[in-house]
Amino acid sequence: MPDKQADATPLKTRLFFSLKWRTLLVISLLLVFINGLLNLLTYANLENQFEKQLSRSVEQNSSSLLAQSHRRLVELGGSMILAGQSFSGGKLSEQGIYQYFDKSWELFQIDWGIESASIYRDEIRERQWGITEDIAPLQQLIKQVNTSQVPDTAIYCNKECRLYAAIPLFFVDGSARILLLSTTLADFIIDFSRHSNLGVALLRDVDMISRVTNVTPFGYTIAAVTNKSVNLPLIVQLAAAASVDKFLEEGLSLQTSPGVYHYFYAISLASDNADSKNILMLIVNISKQHDDIFSNLIETLSISAAGLFASLLALLLVLWGPMARINRLAALLPLLAKSGFKEVRNELSGHSSGRFFIDELDVLDDTTESLSYQLEKFETEINHRTNELEKMALYDVLTGLANRRMFTDQLTSLINEFKQFNESFALVFIDLDNFKRINDTLGHDAGDDLLVEVSRRLKKSVRDTDIVSRLGGDEFTLLLPQISHANNAIDVINKVLEAFEPPVKLAGVDTRVTPSIGIAMAPDNGLTTQELMRCADIAMYQAKQQGKNTFCFYSKEMSD
C-alpha cells in the first residue's frame, strides 16, 4: 500500500473540538426549556396510552380466553363421559367407555376438534385414540389429577403445541381411570383474535413438518398465525429490528409502515423440553395512540416555533462551512468507484492543516483518505482473485475433474499436436449403466457420492498423461495421448473395467456399478472435436447394446 504524504499533519497531535459541541453551544440555551417541556409532555402521554392499550388488549383478554379454552376442553371431556355412561346403559364401565370411544372417535375429531384421547390406570396408558402422545411430559399432570381426583389442564409443546385436559373416571365396579384429552391451540388462537381484535401467532423454536411459512423469525418456526397476509410481514419486520431476548422480556412497539405502529407482546408456553421455548405472540395495532401523541407534539411545536426559528438561524451559520466541505467530499467519493484513488488523496490533502482544532469532518476526510488506500489494495486483490476464479471455471465442482470446457480445450490441443507432431490419440466416452435407477432409488446424495467415487477410480486407473473429464450427469471422458495402436487403448480400458469391479457402498448398501465405454481413435475416426465426440458416443451406445459393462471401438459400419 502506498505511504501517506510525509508533510500531512497527524490529526492525533491536535486538540479535538467536536462539531456537535460547537452547534450545541449556540442553540442549547434556546432549546433546553422548550425541548424539556416537549419531552415531558410526549413521554407522559406515550406512557399513559401504552399502558392503557397493553392492559386492555393483552393482560385481560389473554388470561380470560385461555381460561375459557381450558374450561371448554374439560366440559367436552365431561360430556364424553356422560355420553359414554348413557351408551353403557346408565352405568359407566371400562368396556362401555372403550366401545363408545371406538364408535364415536371420528365424531370427536371432526365436530369437537379433539386431537387425541387416552385412558390411564395410574400413570400407565391403557387405550389410545388419535395421535400417539409422548407420555413423559404428561406424567406430572396425570399424577396430579390421579391424586386430587379433580380435573386439571395444561399446555405442552412437542411437535405441536396442544391444550391437555386430564379428567378422573369412576367406573361402576369402583375402579378409577384418568381420561386425557388434547386439542391444538388453533381454536384458542382464532377465538383470541376474534374477541380481542389482536393478531396472534404461535412461534416454536423447533423444526416442524407443519408450518405456515419457511420464514423463521428469531430462528423460530411459525406454527400458526391469524390474518397471515397482514401479520406475517409484521413478524418478519420485528425479527429484523429487535433481538428475541428483548422481545421476550418486555415486548416492544415498532413502526411497521409510515403512520402505522404495532405493539408486540409474548406469552411463554410450557414445553416438554426445558430448553425449548414456545411463544404465543400478540400483535396490537397502536396507531391511534401514536396519532394522539403526534397531536400533542404538534401543539407543543406550535409553542416552541419562535425559539426553534432563532435556533435554526444560528445552526445555519455554524454549519455553513461544514456543509460546503461535505458537498466537496460527496463530489470526491464517486472517484473511488472509478479507481481515482490518487486524485481523491491529492484533493483531500491540506484542507484540515493550519487549524488548531479538528472536528468530525476532519476525521471524515482522514477516514476517506484511509479508505482510498484500502480500496486500492482491495482492487489489486480482487484482480488476483478473479484470475483464480477463471481457473476454477475449468473444473467440475462436484468431482474436481476437468469440465466440458476444459475437455474441449484439451481435445482441440491434442488435435493440433497431431497435425504438428503426428501423435495419434484416443477419445473414450464412459457412461454409467443404470445410473438413473440408482439415483432414483437411493437419492440424489447417493448419486453424487457415486459420481465422486467413480471419478476417484478413473483417475487411479489411467496413466499420468491421460486426462479424465466429466461432461455432465454420469458421462465421463478419457483423453489418451500417444496411443499408436488400439491395443494400447485396450490396456487402459481393461484397468478402468477392473476399477469398477469392487462394489460401491451407497446409503449403507453395497452397489455394483458398471460402465459402457465407447472409443474413437484419432486420426482414424476423424480430426475434429465434433466428429471424434460423435464417433465415441456412437461406440458407447453400441457397447450398451452389447450388454453393458464392456467397451467398443468405433467403426464405420456403426454409422450405416
pLDDT, tens digit, for every residue of 188-197?
Answer: 777 667 766 7
Confidence of residue 270 (pLDDT cuts 50, 70, 90): low
Residue 117 is which amino acid? A
Rounded CA-CA distance 214/210 in Å is 10
Phi/psi of residue 506, each to 5°? -125, 120
pLDDT, position 182: 85
Give the pLDDT score at 274: 54
Q: Region 376-399: what's the mean pLDDT?
A: 82
Looking at per-residue pLDDT, the higher value among 303 and 522 belongs to 522
**In the predicted model, what is the mean pLDDT of residues 75-97?**
83
For the residues of 123-187, what is the DSSP string, one character each? TEEEEEEESPPPSGGGHHHHHHHHHH-S-EEEEEESSSEEEEEEEEEE-TTS-EEEEEEEEETHH
The whole-number pLDDT of residue 496 equals: 95
Q: Say what the pLDDT of residue 43 is.
A: 63
pLDDT at 265: 79
Residue 446's pLDDT is what?
Answer: 92
- Comparing 77-91, 391-405, 439-453, the range with the smallest average pLDDT is 77-91
CA angle 481, 486, 488 (to 5 degrees): 60
* Angle made by CA atoms 144, 145, 149, in degrees to the nearest 5: 130
The residue that leads in pLDDT, 276 or 357, is 357
**pLDDT at residue 102 in the model:** 87
* Gap between the Cα atoms of 127 and 94, Å rounded: 11
Query: What band does 532 get if pLDDT is binned at 50, 70 and 90?
Result: very high
Task: Quote the pLDDT of residue 56.
Answer: 63
Q: What whole-number percentage of the chain has pLDDT above 70?
A: 79
Looking at residues 468-478, what average pLDDT do you find? 94
Give the pLDDT band (50/70/90) at residue 393: confident
Q: Comparing C-alpha atoms, which of 452, 458, 457, 438 is closest to residue 510?
A: 438
475-481/504-506 β-pairing:
unpaired
257-268: pLDDT as tens digits: 888 888 887 777
> Looking at the predicted structure, is the pLDDT value of residue 272 above 60?
no
| DSSP state for residue 557 in the 8-state scheme | G
Region 321-345: what's the mean pLDDT? 77
Rounded to the nearest 10 degrees, what angle do helices 19-54 and 360-392 cross at? 70
Q: In whole angstroms, what is the distance from residue 507 CA to residue 518 CA?
A: 30
pLDDT of residue 1: 47
Cα separation of 145 and 134, whole Å? 18
Residue 76, pLDDT above cutoff 70 = yes
Nearest CA-CA partner of 105 in 125, 87, 124? 87
Q: 293: which 3 cell numbers? A: 401523541
User: How sure is the predictor about 357, in pLDDT bands with cuts at 50, 70 and 90?
Assistant: confident
- Mean of the pLDDT values across residues 384-388? 79
Higher-confidence residue of 182 and 450: namely 450
pLDDT at position 316 is 64
Q: Which of 144-153, 268-277, 333-342 shows the lowest per-residue confidence on average (mean pLDDT)?
A: 268-277
Q: What is the pLDDT of residue 6?
A: 46
Tell me if the bond preceding 481 is cis, omega within 30° of 0: no
Average pLDDT over residues 222-235: 82
Q: Could you tell me which residues are beta bridge partners of residue 216? A: none
| Res 249 pLDDT > 90 | no
The secondary structure of 58-104 as a DSSP string is IIIHHHHHHHHHHHHHHHHHHHHHHHHHHHTTSS--HHHHHHHHHHH
Lowest-confidence range among 59-68, 281-290, 466-475, 482-491? 59-68
pLDDT score, position 209? 47
* 2 pLDDT above the threshold of 60: no
Q: Helices (DSSP H) in 422-514: which residue ranges?
A: 435-442, 444-461, 486-499
Q: How are beta strands 550-553 and 116-121 bridged, if at all?
A: unpaired
Q: What value does the mean pLDDT of the chain take? A: 81
pLDDT in tens, 21-43: 666 566 766 776 776 676 677 66
